[in-house]
Amino acid sequence: MFKKILIANRGEIACRIIRTAQRMGIVTVAVHSDADADALHVRLADESVRIGPAASAESYLKIDAIIEACRRSGADAVHPGYGFLSEKAGFAEALAAAGITFIGPLPAAIAAMGDKIESKKLAHEAGVSTVPGHLGIIADAEAAVGIARDIGYPVMIKASAGGGGKGMRIARDDGETREGFRAAQSEARSSFADDRIFLEKYIEEPRHIEIQVLGDAHGTVIHLGERECSIQRRHQKVVEEAPSPFLDAATREAMGAQAVALAKAVNYRSAGTVEFIADRNRNFYFLEMNTRLQVEHPVTECVTGLDLVELMIRVAAGEKLTLRQADVRLDGWAVETRIYAEDPVRGFLPSTGRLIRYREPAGQGVRVDSGVFEGAEIAIYYDPMIAKLVTSAKTRDAAIDLMRTALDEFVIRGVAHNIPFLAAVLATPRFRSGALSTNFIAEEFPAGFTGSQLAEDAVAPATAVAAAVRRILGEREASISGQLPGHGAVVGTDWVVCHGSERHAVKIIPAGDGYEVTLATGSHCVTLDWQPGDLACRARVDGRAMVFQIDRDGSGFRLIHGGVTVALQVVPPHVAALLDLMPVKAPPDLSRFLLSPMPGLLVALAVTEGQEVRQGEALATIEAMKMENVLRAERDGTVAAIRAKIGDSLAVDATILEFAVAEPA
């Protein structure tokens, strides 16, 4: 067994690998860029080596720097994690040349599967069903139109070197094919320095289902069942689960057998994933093979009880797999959500900043894989994933319920995050029913994500909990000021919960170990596990367990539940009467300004002063977190003034341009 492993990665996956290696008694070495000098993976590892400046191209993607770090630390093996160098055959080769073991497949298997056209040919030869299409390189847009007609619309235009959902377009007619071909080609050229494009049939109502495979150096290959990853945004996975609610035993077995056949065809040794797309009739077709540990591997670990990183390390060290296909049992259900630093109501724009508050949920069936801590900085240089939240239980319903509660408990302040969106996805009846497809998000949120309302059955509990929280605060104030609990105005029984212009009269009296709270709509029995200062409040309302986050905000507080934030004030009736007399401050109208939604670099301006623009027209492009974000006009108007210039480094909410005041019609 290896004595020392270097982890050529950062963030949650580096932390996750370090934990398993340490449990196995192996010394761990972290590598880090300047931006990550104080990162969690560096803190967790036994040793660490600086490999370069913040930019990935000068650090985590630098093969020489990593091999040098192995030499200096004396590491005898390297785990690449996912992303970065994990699927670069040249990295595995360079390590081999330096006498260091790559914890992954052989370079030839990486190379064979790294190219979508080549891997499809190989899959076809191995008897794996592939998406009908054209496995040749397409010369130009006109040739693409001819091939698309032969395949039959709709078609998928793809970059052979593609990955991470980039360089992919759906085309439903000749015009879209021409346009999509050119767009995919230029995206592929700039992202992968390889503009080979091919076409295949677009599978309607597609479900993404993938098989986890595992091989050793002695010719054994088994599979560990499937994961369904159909909840995707821009072809990128957001929610994953194992098993798939769609597969029956026969389809699972057929898919597993094909995945194993493909892995054997490339002499696969290590953990890998064979991705399939399934249509509504459970026909399935090979998409690609990822020759590495997958982001969503924890759901498989939860239902199989295996540690995939440990198995990868063992087979890399030459051990024989002792596990047989028949030993693999799928037990229970697991769901994973990817928590990103991005603002779902602002078109999912990435967000940066310091995690001023950060508390992970915990408990039976809850697993959090993260690479951050309270006080850590989410920087612009890397992937904006903060954590992966995984819940598992006996049944799918129970795993979903646990996920919703865990999302309620997850406290993140300081950066925008996608928990409100994830909570909304998990709350849909369609997700619950398991009727998934990769169009799920587009169909369930046709206007994008605009935020949610508190679920109807959560309104009365939220009001009652707010009253109970106010009551506890009142009791605390009374005991500090020397009053007896139950006396004086602050611990009165009559309160008014103010939510915007709504007023809800509430009567609250201590009862048992909690309170009886009477609203206009009925009485509720509330017990709270909460003290002033706690961020999360576990409540029981009429026997129902619910979690609320509570942020104090001046005289009021914000209650967060189900991804929804509700600002409330709970005041005595005479104060409520005063509030009603106060003029309501209208928020300033900022709709005339195009503000930068995030810190970033202004790289393009698509309009000039005096120009009329239509809703949806591109106005400006901001680069942040290695992504170009196009800002579009929210409605028709005329550009009155431009307030920033190309090359400006913009702060969040900096004014980019100003529209003319609309003239009354």
Which residues have a catalytic role annotated? 288
- Minimum distance from residue 400 beta carbon to ligand ADP (Å): 21
What CA–CA distances, in Å, run from 504 to 135, 337, 467, 520, 618? 65, 36, 10, 7, 45
State which H helix or E strand residue 591 sits in: none
Q: Residue 405 touches which of ligand ADP, Mg ion, none (CB < 5 to 8 A by kind)?
A: none
Residue nearest to Mg ion (CB): 275
- Minimum distance from residue 253 beta carbon to ligand ADP (Å): 22
Whether 162 and 232 have beta carbons less than 8 Å apart is answered as no
Q: Specify the residue, 34 or 118, whose C-beta has the smaller distance to Mg ion.
A: 118
Q: Residue 52 touches which of ligand ADP, Mg ion, none (CB < 5 to 8 A by kind)?
A: none
- Minimum distance from residue 237 beta carbon to ligand ADP (Å): 5
Q: Specify the residue, 240 or 408, whose C-beta has the smaller distance to ligand ADP.
A: 240
Which residue's entry shows tokens 């803190």? 43
CA 293/CA 400 separation, integer angstroms: 24
Q: Specify the residue, 208 or 252, whose C-beta has the smaller distance to ligand ADP.
A: 208
Q: Residue 202 touches which of Mg ion, ligand ADP, none (CB < 5 to 8 A by kind)?
A: ligand ADP
Retrieve residue 364's tokens.
Answer: 């039976």
Retrieve residue 595's tokens.
Answer: 């503000």
Retrieve residue 453's tokens.
Answer: 């309302």
- Minimum distance from residue 237 beta carbon to Mg ion (Å): 8
Q: Specify the residue, 36 or 200, whose C-beta has the smaller distance to ligand ADP.
A: 200
Retrieve residue 572's tokens.
Answer: 């005595």
Whether 86 and 110 have beta carbons less than 8 Å apart is answered as no
Question: Which residues 6+ apart lie within 8 Å of 215 measured at CB?
Answer: 105, 221, 222, 263, 264, 268, 269, 270, 272, 315, 321
| Site of interaction with ligand ADP (CB under 6 A) | 82-83, 131, 156, 162-165, 168, 200-203, 206, 208, 232, 235-237, 275, 277, 287-288, 290, 294-295, 383, 438
- Minimum distance from residue 292 beta carbon to ligand ADP (Å): 8
Q: Residue 272 touches which of Mg ion, ligand ADP, none (CB < 5 to 8 A by kind)?
A: none
- Minimum distance from residue 167 beta carbon to ligand ADP (Å): 8
CA 24/CA 18 separation, integer angstroms: 10
Q: Residue 438 touches which of ligand ADP, Mg ion, none (CB < 5 to 8 A by kind)?
A: ligand ADP
CA 100/CA 73 separation, integer angstroms: 12
Stretch that binds Mg ion, among 75-83, 271-279, 521-529, 657-665 (CB under 5 A): 271-279
State which H helix or E strand residue 468 sits in: helix 456-480
- Minimum distance from residue 508 beta carbon to Mg ion (Å): 53
What is the b/e burial string over 81-117, where b = at least 16 CB atoms within 10 angstroms of the residue's CB? bbbbbbbbbebbbbbeeeebbbbbbbbebbbbbbbbb
Q: Specify the residue, 226 or 275, whose C-beta has the smaller distance to Mg ion.
A: 275
Instruction: List binders of Mg ion among 534-563 (CB under 5 A).
Output: none
- Minimum distance from residue 550 beta carbon to ligand ADP (Å): 33
Q: Specify the residue, 292 or 471, whose C-beta has the smaller distance to ligand ADP.
A: 292
- Determine whether 483 is exposed, middle or buried from the number of CB atoms within 10 Å of its CB (0-12, 13-18, 19+): middle
What CA–CA distances, in Å, run from 160 to 121, 284, 488? 12, 20, 73
Q: Specify the residue, 32 or 208, whose C-beta has the smaller distance to Mg ion.
A: 208
- Minimum distance from residue 641 beta carbon to ligand ADP (Å): 38
DSSP string over 187-253: HHHHHHS---EEEEEPPSS-EEEEEEEEE-TTS-EEEEEEEEEEEEETTEEEEEEES-TT--HHHHH
Q: Residue 414 touches which of ligand ADP, Mg ion, none (CB < 5 to 8 A by kind)?
A: none
Whether 449 and 344 have beta carbons less than 8 Å apart is answered as yes
Stretch that binds Mg ion, among 250-258, 268-276, 322-330, 621-629 (CB under 5 A): 268-276
User: Could you write out the three-class secondary structure of 218-231?
Assistant: CCCEEEEEEEEEEE
CA 56/CA 1 separation, integer angstroms: 31
DSSP state of 143: H
- Minimum distance from residue 144 beta carbon to ligand ADP (Å): 15
Q: Residue 156 touches which of ligand ADP, Mg ion, none (CB < 5 to 8 A by kind)?
A: ligand ADP
DSSP string over 636-662: -EEEEEE---TT-EEPTT-EEEEEPPP
Size of the site for Mg ion (CB under 5 A): 1
Q: Residue 314 touches which of Mg ion, ligand ADP, none (CB < 5 to 8 A by kind)?
A: none
Q: Specify the residue, 12 or 343, whose C-beta has the smaller distance to ligand ADP.
A: 12
Instruction: List binders of Mg ion among 275-304 (CB under 5 A).
Output: 275
The contact pattern for Mg ion, residues 219-258, with x = CB under 5 A and - = no contact, is ----------------------------------------
Stretch that binds Mg ion, among 181-189, 273-281, 361-369, 586-594 (CB under 5 A): 273-281
What is the b/e burial string over 345-381, where b = at least 16 CB atoms within 10 angstroms of the residue's CB? ebebbbbbbebeebbbbeeebbbbbbbbeeebbbbbb
Q: Specify the residue, 236 or 479, whose C-beta has the smaller distance to ligand ADP.
A: 236
CA 44/CA 27 separation, integer angstroms: 11
Q: Residue 12 touches which of Mg ion, ligand ADP, none (CB < 5 to 8 A by kind)?
A: none
Q: Phi/psi of residue 603, each to 5°? A: -105, -20
Does residue 12 sit in helix, strand or coil? helix
Q: Specify the residue, 309 or 464, whose C-beta has the smaller distance to ligand ADP.
A: 309
Q: Residue 163 touches which of ligand ADP, Mg ion, none (CB < 5 to 8 A by kind)?
A: ligand ADP
Contacting residues toward Mg ion, per CB under 5 A = 275
